[in-house]
């Protein structure tokens, strides 16, 4: 590359120029991102420490298997793949905006910035759906009192513990609430219960409902490690907050580009700096994806 | 299109912006996409098959290495760090080496805590360890 030869010939440390050949604000963005990497790293490593200290940890393929509009179909990792694709794509549109900025093409910058913002908003919407689905989901767990309850994935409870022996779960049915049984008979019906609606089931006595639940398919679990929720919502939430602020920054950049601020300055370095931040958000997601969904 | 004038700190331009840059961006996109698909495939493979524990660990190791490859491409190409002066790259990359100790030490610590608890708190071990016969995946 021609730049390498130039770099060797220039006396970088003689003063009068940046020895790194980088504008001040851009260099500081790099150092901010480095410190942010340590913040995220500390969170993820803390999660890893707790996970390594447990004998059991939920299988991500079991936890993340839902897809909007697909009902109860078992689609492990499908939705998070879509989210990952959206974020990679928005990284590409961002780097294309930076490229157009180098050429001083205002319309090109605006076009690719708009796509990047759309990608960011799409990712946030996906995350909102995912959180909502996890929190409001009703999963049957065997509690310490040996009853079966329906709980979602929250900060205080994790429904993805060890699988319970169906025979043990069958015994727990007798002491569980009628409402829980009605829901189970609705979700996992035996042949004679299949045609009944939930409101119909809710009016039935417990004794009748107990025979209408297909326990072999209900997959009753114990409660899983509570730390799972705090780490998942904490870290993906902190990442989501970065995406959100990235979108805000990109919107500001789009407006400034539109107003011709960078044309008057003579360079599009601000787009480059916003781009660095946006790529960093993508970079963090690569590791969040690894730690929560893949391993 | 008029060439952009750089701020005073910048002595020379790293690369001539042109079609080859756009090509490089899309090439990187495909690399990232293919690596992600391979990672997903491996993740689902662990789910679908009943590997022994060391097999699961090996697959997870491969996925971690692939993730580092993705991180390299994002930082080097998308963030253009690969185009900067070597000294500047080093001020970013060398401090990040701290992660090698950071990860090793804390995962080791978590693992050691688990082993201590399993040794001295048999109830904890019994209550939380998965029995092989009830773990059939659906």
Q: What is the ipTM of this complex?
A: 0.88
For the segment B113-121, the average pLDDT, to the nearest whole number, is 95
Give yes or no: residues B40 and B2 share one domain. yes
pLDDT of residue B138: 44
Å between B53 CA and nearest CA of chain A:
13
Residue A148: strand pairing partners: A142
Give yes or no: residues B75 and B10 share one domain. yes
Give yes or no: residues B46 and B70 share one domain. yes
**Which residues of A are less than 8 Å from B99 in CB distance?**
41
Confidence of residue A210 (pLDDT cuts 50, 70, 90): confident
pLDDT of residue A150: 93
**Mutate which of B8, B39, B81, B82 to test chain A, going by most A C-beta atoms within 10 A?**
B39
Better pLDDT: A175 or A45: A45
Contact yes or no for A172/A146 (Cβ under 8 A): yes
Give the chain B residue whose CA is nearest to the CA of A91.
B78
Give yes or no: residues B52 and B25 share one domain. yes
Backbone angles phi, psi at A105, to 5 degrees: -95, 100
**Which residues of B are less than 8 Å from A271 in CB distance?**
none
pLDDT of residue B1: 42
Structural domain total, chain B:
2
| Chain-chain contact of B29 with A17 (C-beta, under 8 angstroms) | no
B14 domain residue, yes or no: yes
Which range among A41-55, A234-248, B18-32 shows the weakest confidence by mean pLDDT? B18-32
| Chain-chain contact of B25 with A45 (C-beta, under 8 angstroms) | no
B92 domain residue, yes or no: no
Better pLDDT: A44 or A144: A44
Backbone angles phi, psi at A151, to 5 degrees: -130, 160
Give yes or no: residues B73 and B101 share one domain. no
Better pLDDT: A135 or A217: A135
| Chain-chain contact of B9 with A18 (C-beta, under 8 angstroms) | yes
For the segment A172-192, the average pLDDT, to the nearest whole number, is 88
pLDDT of residue A214: 87
Confidence of residue B97 (pLDDT cuts 50, 70, 90): very high
**Mutate which of A48, A95, A217, A272 to test chain B, going by most B C-beta atoms within 10 A?**
A95
| Chain-chain contact of A38 with B118 (C-beta, under 8 angstroms) | no
**Across the A/B interface, how many CB contacts are shorter than 8 Å?**
202
Both tokens of B127, joined, read 């209550």
Q: Is A105 helix (H, G, I), strand (E, B) or coil?
A: coil
Task: Single out the residue of A94, A21, A32 nearest to residue B6, CA to CA.
Answer: A21
| Chain-chain contact of A61 with B6 (C-beta, under 8 angstroms) | no
DSSP letter for each residue of A153-204 = --SS-----PBPPHHHHHHHHTTS-HHHHHHHHHHSB-GGGTT--HHHHHTS
How many whole angstroms separate alpha carbon B37 and alpha carbon B32? 9
Give the chain B residue whose CA is nearest to the CA of A270.
B7
Give yes or no: residues B30 and B79 share one domain. yes
B115 domain residue, yes or no: yes
For the segment A101-108, the average pLDDT, to the nearest whole number, is 93
Environment class of A20 (CB within 10 Å of its CB; exposed 0-12, middle 13-18, buried 19+)? buried
Task: Single out the residue of A133, A79, A117 nearest to residue A243, CA to CA.
Answer: A117
Centroid of chain to Cα A276: 21
How many whole angstroms separate alpha carbon B132 and alpha carbon B122? 18
Contact yes or no for A235/A47 (Cβ under 8 A): yes
Give yes or no: residues B78 and B117 share one domain. no
Report the run of H or E that residue A148 belongs to, with start and end: strand A148-151
B134 pLDDT exceeds 80? no
User: Backbone dihedral region of A75: left (phi > 0), alpha (psi from -120 to 50 degrees) or beta?
Assistant: beta
Q: Domain locations in chain A? A: 22-136+228-294, 139-222
Q: CA dihedral defined by A42, B72, A275, A82, rounded to 10 degrees?
A: -80
CATH for A22-136+228-294?
1.20.120.80
Give the chain B residue whose CA is nearest to the CA of A21.
B10
| Chain-chain contact of B74 with A286 (C-beta, under 8 angstroms) | yes
B37 pLDDT exceeds 50? yes
Give yes or no: residues B43 and B3 share one domain. yes
Backbone angles phi, psi at B80, to 5 degrees: 60, 20
Give yes or no: residues B104 and B60 share one domain. no
Give yes or no: residues B76 and B14 share one domain. yes
| Chain-chain contact of A294 with B130 (C-beta, under 8 angstroms) | no
Task: Single out the residue of A170, A155, A251 nearest to residue A209, CA to CA.
Answer: A170
pLDDT of residue A5: 54
Percent of chain A with pLDDT over 90: 69
| Chain-chain contact of A48 with B6 (C-beta, under 8 angstroms) | no
B137 domain residue, yes or no: no
Confidence of residue A231 (pLDDT cuts 50, 70, 90): very high
B107 domain residue, yes or no: yes
Give yes or no: residues B76 and B101 share one domain. no
Task: Single out the residue of B67, B55, B109 nearest to residue A52, CA to CA.
Answer: B109
Give yes or no: residues B8 and B65 share one domain. yes
pLDDT of residue B2: 45
What range defines the domain where residue B107 resides?
97-130
Confidence of residue B137 (pLDDT cuts 50, 70, 90): very low
């Amino acid at each position: 590359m021609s730049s390498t030869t130039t770099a060797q010939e220039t006396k970088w440390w003689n003063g009068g120029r940046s020895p790194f050949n980088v504008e001040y604000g851009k260099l500081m963005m790099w150092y901010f991102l480095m410190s942010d990497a340590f913040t995220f790293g500390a969170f993820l490593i803390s999660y890893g420490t707790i996970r390594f200290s447990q004998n059991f940890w939920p299988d991500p393929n079991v936890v993340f298997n839902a897809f909007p509009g697909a009902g109860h179909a078992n689609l492990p990792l499908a939705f998070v793949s879509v989210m990952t694709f959206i974020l990679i794509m928005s990284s590409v549109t961002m780097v294309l905006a930076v490229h157009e900025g180098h050429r001083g093409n205002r319309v090109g910058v605006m076009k690719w910035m708009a796509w990047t913002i759309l990608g960011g908003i799409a990712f946030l919407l996906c995350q909102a759906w995912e959180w909502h689905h996890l929190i409001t989901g009703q999963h049957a767990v065997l509690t310490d009192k040996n009853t079966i309850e329906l709980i979602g994935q929250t900060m205080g409870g994790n429904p993805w513990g060890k699988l319970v022996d169906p025979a043990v779960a069958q015994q727990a049915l007798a002491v569980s609430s009628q409402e829980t049984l009605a829901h189970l008979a609705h979700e996992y019906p035996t042949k004679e219960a299949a045609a009944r609606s939930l409101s119909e089931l809710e009016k039935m006595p417990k004794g009748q409902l107990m025979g209408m639940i297909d326990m072999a398919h209900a997959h009753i679990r114990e409660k899983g490690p509570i730390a799972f929720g705090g780490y998942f919502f904490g870290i993906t939430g902190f990442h989501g907050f970065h995406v959100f602020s990235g979108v805000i920054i990109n919107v500001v950049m789009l407006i400034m580009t539109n107003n011709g601020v960078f044309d008057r300055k003579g360079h599009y370095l601000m787009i480059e700096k916003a781009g660095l931040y946006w790529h960093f958000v993508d970079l963090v997601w690569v590791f969040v994806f690894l730690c929560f969904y893949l391993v | 299109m008029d060439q952009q004038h750089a701020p005073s700190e910048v002595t020379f331009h790293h690369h001539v912006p042109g079609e080859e840059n756009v090509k490089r961006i899309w090439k990187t996109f495909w690399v990232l996409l293919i690596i992600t698909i391979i990672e997903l495939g491996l993740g689902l493979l662990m789910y679908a098959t009943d590997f022994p524990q060391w097999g699961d660990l090996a697959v997870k190791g491969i996925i971690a290495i692939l993730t580092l490859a993705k991180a390299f491409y994002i930082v080097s190409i998308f963030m253009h760090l690969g185009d900067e002066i070597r000294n500047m790259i080093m001020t970013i990359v060398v401090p990040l080496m701290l992660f090698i100790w950071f990860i090793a030490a804390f995962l080791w610590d978590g693992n050691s805590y688990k082993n201590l608890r399993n040794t001295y708190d048999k109830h904890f071990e019994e209550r939380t360890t998965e029995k092989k016969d009830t773990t059939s995946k659906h």
